Amino acid sequence: MVDVTSYAPRAVATTQISQAAGRLGVDDAIVEKLRHPKRIMEVSIPTKMDDGSVKVFTGYRVQHNMDRGPAKGGIRYHPQVTMDEVIALSMWMTCKCAVVNIPYGGAKGGVICNPKEMSDGEVERMTRRFTSELIDFIGPEKDIPAPDVYTTPQTMAWILDTYSMNVGHLVPGVVTGKPVEIGGSLGRNEATGRGCAIVAREALKTLRIGVDGATVAIQGFGNAGSVTGRVLQSMGAKVIAVSDSRGGVYSPTGLDAAAAEAHKEESGSVVGLKGCSAITNEELLTLDCDVLVPAALENSINTSNAADIRARVIAEAANGPTTPDAQTIIDEKGIFVVPDILANAGGVTVSYFEWVQDSARFFWTEEEVNQRLESIMVNSYKEVLAEAERSNCNMRDAAFNVAVARVSKAVALRGIYP
């Protein structure tokens, strides 16, 4: 088996798209277009630090495809951001938007930094300068950023303000995932986790496992993971383990997801949650459970641990948490995987709702948002499941088949200019 460290995310994403195109018989010229991002930007971000010095950060924005609509994708702040990773994430965003059939193409952005070691003022100044460097390439009809790893609604507010000040008027649709007070959508902060919980529930139904009492383990108890746990718990499931970067906690009789959130908010970690025993991130992945939710970073499930996974369902709240070789092992074990481009598409779906509301200047209730999200996630799950059954393949291949078919059709209809 290939070691996890040998995987280049762009190579994985390109292979997944190419293989889906091959299964579908897509024209070679269209495949060639989909293998290459439309636009790749690398910018320097000189930033005044609190001590008076200037530090130059490196930022990226990649727009993969815009044949179905404006580019859409988050911006992450992380010390391990790479161009290769951002390109791969932009390609997966194209597929994610297509699999839930919303009119966007894919984009992604990132800045190499450690926001945990920066003051709010330093992060704000870096964000505003990054925005100014991208000013000609983003916009509500061009490319619409959103929060991702270590970026927040406040980050989006700074981008919105910087962009609006440069163009001379308020443009709420330039970003999504922003605060409700300046055009954000109710339900957006919970959308990724809620969408993941919905498809996890549907997967349990497919396997004829009742959600009531189903056991859930969540690796990565950030926004997506915590909301997934809380929503599944509200459906009747039993959350038995959660973890973050510092470690995890385990309770075979179940723990309170909301209490775990509160404890993490107070202490900075789920570690030490009352009534639970300590568990490592690796131990959590191999727990005997009905649903495993990898909600951390890429490649969490790899050849070193895939054979030991005992979950019935894996619902991928993170992007790219399973390596290709690990997927092969998981398929051999008969584990049902809801892939990332479907499982975590709730966030971009409600981002689309936010963009629509901003365009109309007419806002929906949280109940309306959640109902619309439920409808799209359930219908998309059923379409992917039908494709898996029709093509006798796993859900990941089926999801890419659905997505690539839609994007390829758009490319074919529009043609290659000139």
CATH code of the domain covering residue 329: 3.40.50.720
Do 202 and 164 share a domain, yes or no?
no
- Judged by average pLDDT, the poorest of 6-15, 121-130, 162-171 is 6-15
156 - beta bridge partners? none
Give me the pLDDT at residue 8, please: 86
Tell whether 366 is covered by a domain: no
End position of a domain, from candidates 172, 201, 229 = 172
Do 234 and 124 share a domain, yes or no?
no
Tell whether 216 is covered by a domain: yes
The mean per-residue pLDDT over the stretch 60-81 comes to: 97
Q: How many domains would you assign to the chain? A: 2
The whole-angstrom separation of Cα 95 and Cα 416 is: 20
Q: Which residues of 319-346 are buried (b: 16+ CB within 10 A; e: fewer)?
A: bbbbbebbbebbbeeebbbbbbbbbbbb
Tell whether 408 is covered by a domain: no
Give me the pLDDT at residue 404, please: 98
End position of a domain, from candidates 172, 201, 236 = 172
Do 78 and 140 share a domain, yes or no?
yes
Residue 3 has pLDDT above 50, yes or no: no
pLDDT in tens, 232-249: 999 999 999 999 999 999
Residue 1 has pLDDT above 90, yes or no: no
Do 203 and 261 share a domain, yes or no?
yes
Residue 383 has pLDDT above 70, yes or no: yes
The whole-angstrom separation of Cα 40 and Cα 11 is: 16
- Grouping H, G, I as helix, E, B as strand and the rest as coil, residue 162 is helix
* Annotated catalytic residue 108: yes
Tell whether 295 is covered by a domain: yes
Residue 62 φ/ψ, nearest 5 degrees? -120, 130
Give me the pLDDT at residue 298, please: 81
Mean pLDDT of the chain: 96
End position of a domain, from candidates 343, 378, 402 = 343
Q: Which amino acid is at 143?
A: D
Question: CA-CA distances (angstroms) from residue 128 to 47, 75, 124, 161, 301?
Answer: 9, 13, 6, 9, 36
Q: Does an H or E element contain 384, and which?
A: helix 366-391
pLDDT in tens, 275-324: 999 999 999 999 999 999 999 978 899 999 999 999 999 999 998 899 99
The two three-digit tokens of residue 377, written as one number: 């996630």
Residue 255 has pLDDT above 90, yes or no: yes
User: Contact 191/357 with Cβ under 8 angstroms?
Assistant: no
User: Contact 17/336 with Cβ under 8 angstroms?
Assistant: no
Do 204 and 165 share a domain, yes or no?
no
Do 198 and 168 share a domain, yes or no?
no
Do 231 and 324 share a domain, yes or no?
yes
Give the CATH number of the domain where residue 159 resides: 3.40.50.10860
Tell whether 81 is covered by a domain: yes
Q: Which of 72, 96, 108, 264 is catalytic?
A: 108
Q: Say if residue 212 is exposed, middle or buried (CB neighbours under 10 Å; 0-12, 13-18, 19+).
A: exposed
Do 204 and 300 share a domain, yes or no?
yes
Tell whether 83 is covered by a domain: yes
The mean per-residue pLDDT over the stretch 69-74 comes to: 98
Reference 64, options 85, 92, 44, 84; nearest CA is 92
Give me the pLDDT at residue 7, please: 73
Do 118 and 260 share a domain, yes or no?
no
Give me the pLDDT at residue 6, please: 56
Residue 26 φ/ψ, nearest 5 degrees? -70, 145
**Dihedral sign (CA 375, 147, 84, 352):** positive
User: Contact 250/241 with Cβ under 8 angstroms?
Assistant: yes
Do 165 and 197 share a domain, yes or no?
no
Tell whether 100 is covered by a domain: yes
Domain that holds residue 292: 191-343
pLDDT in tens, 208-219: 999 999 999 999
Tell whether 398 is covered by a domain: no
Reference 174, options 100, 76, 92, 70; nearest CA is 70
Residue 2 has pLDDT above 80, yes or no: no
Q: What percent of the chain has pLDDT over 70?
A: 99
Reference 58, options 117, 130, 146, 121; nearest CA is 130
User: Contact 344/196 with Cβ under 8 angstroms?
Assistant: yes
The mean per-residue pLDDT over the stretch 55-59 comes to: 98
The two three-digit tokens of residue 174, written as one number: 């330039």
Do 129 and 208 share a domain, yes or no?
no
Residue 168 has pLDDT above 50, yes or no: yes
Do 264 and 334 share a domain, yes or no?
yes
Reference 108, options 144, 158, 55; nearest CA is 144
The whole-angstrom separation of Cα 195 and Cα 205 is: 16
The mean per-residue pLDDT over the stretch 196-221 comes to: 98
pTM: 0.95
The whole-angstrom separation of Cα 93 and Cα 108 is: 8
